[in-house]
A and B are shown apart, each in its own frame.
Chain A
Amino acid sequence: MTTYTIPVGPLHVALEEPMYFKVEVTGETIASVDINAGHVHRGVEYLTMQRNFYQNITLTERLCSLCSNSHPTTYCTALEAIAGIRIPERARYLRVIADEIKRVASNLFNVAIMAHIIGFDSLFMHVMETREVAQDVKETIFGNRMDLGANRIGGVRYDLDAKNQDYLSQQMERMKADLAEIVDIYRNNSMIALRTVGVGVLPHDKALEYAVVGPVARGSGVAYDVRSKAPYAAYDRLDVPVVTETGGDVRARALVRLREVQVAIDLIQQCLRDMPDGPIAIGGLPRIPAGEAIAKSEAPRGELIYYLRTDGSDKPERLKWRVPSYMNWDALHVMMEGNRISDIPLIVNSIDPCISCTER
């Protein structure tokens, strides 16, 4: 059979962001993949060095919509490490809550898109309806549906009063029943199994070799989670189970994401239970001395690393970050080969690529 090339992207309905895959196919089977990135480079890293530390909190939040809270959280953690700031206890918990509510929305979004790609639109609508609860929570507590604006140097910018705490725990309770049903559908529905089991397999050894992170790693049985390996914010005070699946295929990754939503809800409830009273941030605008620091966090897509070097001025000398999608997308080579054309969007979606973070 002859091999021919089909272009997937840079604009494709099933890809949420521009990314170009040059796919060589033999019949309906994928022979090889060439990944071409760089369509949405905006020069944000350079831009951060032109702005002061406080402006950069806003800028990093706007890197990407789905992990918009992970970036400023990690950036602020790096700054606090350089300045030697210990943030108030209550602020630690509030950072966890903001992080986890974003994780709930982000993971549900990805899993919903998976249903859409296999043409199961009713399930897509059902998952998005459940996600809407998380969106309502964000809007009520933070005033926005996507960018929370929760972080500042030395703490957070929002507080939960008794009324909002009640509302939050009520909404989390409300999601639980729906979530249990959704997990059951993704685990047991035969139509989902037909399209996702054994598709886009990343074996355990390849997962280690490619050093994938986040749900992609945990779907292949690698129990790596920054929240438990190198706890930040209040994660060392909370019980954070690491969710893993062993399949290494598209369904395993979806199941990891769904179960992490359940863990996230549990974490939010733990926070609401354990959160002490007190200030939410240190007062004033701290001076940042010269120094360098690395901060890590577990974004919805996996490990996010910030490197920051300062020279005593009010601007970063160098700010660089490594996003989870950068580690994950190379593993697409392993996942795609030998699969069918119809599975390309499904496999790409299963690593939940965030192009706007990766190419900034």
Chain B
Amino acid sequence: MSAPMSDLFSLLFAILVFPGGLFALCFGLVLKGLDRRLAARLQRRVGPPLLQPLFDLVKLARKRTLVPDIACKPLFLAAPMAGCVSMALAAALIPIPGVYDPDPLLGDLLVVLYLLAVPAVALMIAGSASGSSYGAIGFSREMALMLAYEGPLLMVLATVAVKTGLAQGGFVTFSLSEIVRYQQEHGAYLADPWMWPAVLAFLAFFPANLGIAPFDIPEAESEVLEGPLLEYSGPPLGLFKVMSALKAVVVLSLGVVLFFPTAPDGAAGLLVHLLKLAVLSLAGVTVLRTAIGRMRIDQAVLFYLKWPEALAIAGLAAVLALA
């Protein structure tokens, strides 16, 4: 499977079926179901069935598409599609250690970085295209938050790229396959204390990107009525749910690939990878969001400009200094 697959069919297969598209969606929905179950148990509730996120999607798919009169219709409908496509692409770009190696034709870490920004941009467009003033507030919050967390993310990715590049005799490498290969040969970065600032900065990044407490500010239900999503219903809302399920898999996979990709080959490797994602999701997403409330947007931006930024700079400096 790790041999380069260059024909169009296998590229499409990677984007639409495995590991992007269908596979990532199914696993994303299962993660979401697990998240809701565990959150319910932590709050002494029974919680919904494990497949509830899937049922929700089916329900939404069967409903009518409503577009507000004052909305900009093409943008309003295109935003969720763009979000979904970007995340399916990103899922196909991230290797599964020992199982799947993305075709270099698709792109590398830099492309992942750009694709990761698309869902947030899609939400901003959705919010402003809907014509609702709550959507507009969601827009401005999403943008503020994105500006705050993109900095640390960029530096974390640079840290890993530089570290791998330097170790291999060059300066940087943006190939995720190389990053995985190097760690499988020389041990995971997670075991290297000099990389811990970068790991911490990444852990601080993903709650904001996935929109969970304390950084679920743009879509806060009790404050701005889910902001950008307020006017959405039916299939377009379903597409946003698909997007967020895919995004969870992409962001968590990226974390695993960057810092802890060691896994056996073949089916066992896939299982180990999925297990890591599930553990990261339950520990990092569910427990966090049940243990904490929501910050205000100004507090969140300030937080990101302080701690993750400082950690990410420290991480990058450490890697450069040790070289």
Contacts and interface: CB of A to CB of B under 8 A. Distances in A.
A279 interface: no
Interface in A171-215: 191-192, 194-195
A340 B299 CA distance: 11
A115 B293 contact: yes
Contacts of B43: 121-122, 125-126
Given A7-B133, A120-B292, A14 B299 contact: no
A119 B220 contact: yes
B296 A195 contact: yes
B224 interface: yes
A122 B296 contact: no
Contacts, number: 73
Among B214, B225, B293, B297, residue most surrounded by chain A Cβ atoms (within 10 Å): B293
Contacts of A126: 43
Interface string A219-251: 000000000000000000000000000000000
B137 A121 contact: no
Given A117-B222, A129-B44, A122 B137 contact: no
B295 A4 contact: no
B274 to A, nearest CB: 27
A195 B223 contact: no
A195 B133 contact: no
B110 interface: no
B213 interface: yes
Given A6-B133, A14-B223, A118 B294 contact: yes
Contacts of B295: 194-195
Among A191, A341, A342, residue most surrounded by chain B Cβ atoms (within 10 Å): A342
A125 B45 contact: yes
Given A6-B137, A125-B43, A12 B225 contact: yes
B215 to A, nearest CB: 10
B134 interface: yes
B216 interface: yes
Interface in A13-28: 13-14, 28
B44 A119 contact: no
A271 B262 CA distance: 67
B245 to A, nearest CB: 21
Nearest to A196: B293
Contacts of B147: none
B306 to A, nearest CB: 14
Q: How large is the interface on B (under 10, 10 to 19, 20 to 34, 35 or more residues)?
A: 20 to 34
Interface in B129-155: 133-134, 137, 140
A360 interface: no
Contacts of A191: 214, 292-293
Contacts of B217: 342
Interface in B32-49: 42-45
Given A14-B223, A119-B294, A122-B290, A194 B45 contact: no
A28 B44 CA distance: 36
A118 B294 CA distance: 5
B265 interface: no
B216 A341 contact: no
A71 B290 CA distance: 38
Interface string A335-351: 00000111111000000
B44 A118 contact: no
B56 interface: no
Contact of B296 (A4, A7, A116, A340): A340
A341 B223 CA distance: 8
* SS class, residues of chain A in contact with chain B: helix
Contacts of B133: 4-7
Contacts of B291: 122
B95 to A, nearest CB: 35
Interface in B288-313: 290-299
Nearest to B303: A194
B293 A118 contact: yes
A123 interface: yes
A223 B137 CA distance: 39
A195 B44 contact: no
A13 B137 contact: no
A5 B132 CA distance: 11
B296 A343 contact: yes
Given A119-B216, A119-B222, A341-B137, A28 B294 contact: no
Contacts of B225: 12-13
A194 B222 contact: no
A23 to B, nearest CB: 10
B222 A14 contact: yes
A327 to B, nearest CB: 26
B35 to A, nearest CB: 13
B292 A28 contact: no
Interface string B194-208: 000000000000000
A119 B290 contact: no
Contacts of B44: 125, 129
Nearest to B134: A6
B222 A116 contact: yes
Contacts of A116: 222
A122 B43 CA distance: 5
Contacts of B224: 341-342
B304 to A, nearest CB: 15
Nearest to B144: A28
A127 to B, nearest CB: 11
A345 B222 contact: yes
A121 B221 CA distance: 12
B134 A342 contact: no
B226 to A, nearest CB: 9
11 contacts: A13-B221, A14-B222, A28-B298, A119-B213, A119-B220, A121-B43, A122-B42, A123-B293, A125-B44, A191-B292, A195-B296
The 7 closest A-B pairs by CB, nearest first: A119-B294, A120-B293, A125-B43, A118-B293, A14-B222, A191-B293, A6-B133
Given A191-B214, A194-B299, 18 more contacts: A4-B133, A5-B133, A7-B133, A13-B221, A28-B137, A28-B298, A119-B216, A119-B222, A120-B292, A120-B293, A122-B290, A125-B44, A125-B45, A192-B293, A194-B295, A195-B293, A340-B297, A343-B296
